[in-house]
Copies of this chain bind each other. A is one copy, B any other.
Amino acid sequence: MGLVVQKYGGSSVADAEGIKRVAKRIVDAKRNGHQVVVVVSAMGDTTDELIDLAEQVSPIPAGREFDMLLTAGERISMALLAMAIKNLGHEAQSFTGSQAGVITDSVHNKARIIDVTPGRIRTALDEGNIAIVAGFQGVSQDKKDITTLGRGGSDTTAVALAAALDAEVCEIYTDVDGVFTADPRVVKKARKIDWISFEDMLELASSGSKVLLHRCVEYARRYNIPIHVRSSFSGLRGTWVSNEPHAEQGARKVEQAIISGVAHDTSEAKITVVGVPDKPGEAAAIFRAIADNEINLDMVVQNVSAASTGLTDISFTLPKTEGRKAIDALEKTKSAIGFESLRYDDQIAKISLVGAGMKTNPGVTASFFEALSDAGVNIELISTSEIRISVVTRADDVKEAVRAVHTAFGLDSDSAEAVVYGGTGR
């Protein structure tokens, strides 16, 4: 029996009862002979309450102090969890990100882990303790200031510790049973995935699946740490994310599905730059203006220019929250670049089909478009990668589109067989 890293989110430790329930689960793992390291988030709404307090005293987002404030949340939950475990007769010690050796860069509010030196954790484990570690936080290498890792940071803490401690598995406990073939709130017949590759999980995460964040999966892939996503409420086996499916991970490779799942995302907006002169450097100037404002783009599409005008349209999607900033940045460059106008549209949805199997299965793209067409859903933009196809549709169409694609690719839970693809390539 080796070392297990378990991560519990805020909803799992929302109150004293939740903390006691989680403590029992941790003690079970210890009783089964594992060394156990637990990464915990702040209790329930704690972080939101702290943000609210910060807004009351200052509208200025003060990076260093904001991080100092937010990290109080995990300090509370981890100490309470350690107490609850001791109350069950087991030894536990809690550690801040800094004490656990989570070393980051100095970018407050969204720091990146640059090293993990878990000497104190290792010592605590060797002395028979369960180690409880604050998620979401670290300490900056140069200034020794407290930093936070940004959204979903606790998952990243867990995977990073699992890598540094050479853990058997990183268990991510959450309030759902695992990763599904589509959002179960939209697709009633969505199926829990038993096993999924890092690559497919990365694409799902990029495409709107919220169970695991891209960054955490990327870290796990780099260090080859199997992730087991499961419910802290049910105790059922969840979804394994790893390089290769092992027998105990619920699937053999031959059974690997062609398609892993359908993701959707309604958090993006679409900007179209209309009437751009079709000359070298014009597109570059547009994207330089966007990049200089640190705005991350998602899909980018340039239509063929109309020969008669020498003008083209460039469309891209980006988070709605960045929309205002992008429009402002582009307006400032309008005369320099010489485009005609900007169109902003935040009533869009992105639907993505993900699966490594599609690389070798021609016709997936055609089947995807046919399913959408049959459902009467219009396609506005298309973007593809080796293992993903994404389209942009009207936001109103998103549920129908996801259900149609889910059914068409045999992902519905009462469907035993995957559809057979024919045709002439994607």
Where the two chains meet, the residues of A that have a C-beta atom closer than 8 Å to any C-beta of B are: 16, 19-20, 23, 50, 53-54, 56-60, 62, 64-66, 68-69, 71-73, 75-76, 78-84, 86-87, 92-94, 96, 99, 120, 144, 146
A72 and B75 within 8 A (CB)? yes
Task: Point out the residues of chain B lying under 8 angstroms from A84, CB to CB.
Answer: 57-58
Give bound CA distance, A322 to B71, whole Å: 36
24 contacts between A and B (CB under 8 A): A16-B53, A16-B57, A20-B57, A54-B79, A57-B84, A58-B83, A58-B84, A58-B87, A59-B87, A60-B87, A62-B86, A64-B94, A68-B79, A68-B82, A68-B96, A69-B76, A69-B79, A71-B75, A72-B72, A72-B73, A72-B76, A75-B75, A96-B146, A99-B144
What would 6 more interface pairs be, CB under 8 Å, given A68-B78, A68-B79, A99-B144?
A: A53-B80, A60-B83, A65-B80, A65-B93, A66-B79, A72-B75
Q: Is the CB of B72 within 8 A of A60?
A: no
Q: Chain B residues near A53 (CB, 8 Å)?
A: 16, 76, 80
Chain B neighbourhood of A68, CB < 8 A: 75, 78-79, 82, 94, 96
**In contact, A16 and B78 (Cβ under 8 angstroms):** no
A76 to B145, CA, bound (A): 15
Residues of B within 8 A of A99 (CB): 144
Which residues of chain B are near A83, meaning CB under 8 Å?
54, 57-58, 60, 62, 65-66, 69
Once the chains are docked, how many angstroms separate the CA of A50 from the CA of B96? Answer: 17
A93 and B69 form a contact (CB under 8 A)? no
Chain A binding surface SS class? helix
Question: CB < 8 Å: which of B59, B72, B87, B120 contacts A57?
Answer: B87
Q: Which of A64, A72, A144 has the most CB of B within 10 A?
A: A72
Q: State A65–B79 Cα separation when bound (angstroms).
A: 5
Q: How far is the CB of A147 from chain B (nearest CB, A)?
A: 13
Contacts of A56 in B (CB 8 A): 16
Determine how close the nearest CB of chain B comes to the CB of A59; give it in whole angstroms. Answer: 7
CA distance A285 to B62 in the complex (A): 60
Question: How distant is the Cα of A54 from the Cα of B82 in the complex, in angstroms?
Answer: 10
- Nearest to A75 among chain B residues (CB) is B72
Q: Are B57 and A80 touching (Cβ within 8 A)?
A: yes
Q: A64-B93, A68-B94 are in contact. Are A58 and B79 (CB under 8 A)?
A: no
The answer to whether B94 and A82 touch across the interface, beta carbons within 8 angstroms, is: no
CA distance A90 to B54 in the complex (A): 17
Which chain B residue shows the least CB distance to A88? B58
Distance from A308 Cβ to chain B, minimum over Cβ atoms (Å)? 56
The complex places the Cα of A110 from the Cα of B10 at a distance, in Å, of 31
Residues of B within 8 A of A78 (CB): 68
A133 to chain B, nearest CB (A): 12
Partner of A65, one of B50, B64, B86: B86
Chain B CB within 10 A, most for which of A69, A78, A87: A69
How many angstroms between the C-alpha atoms of A390 and B347 in the bound complex?
A: 79
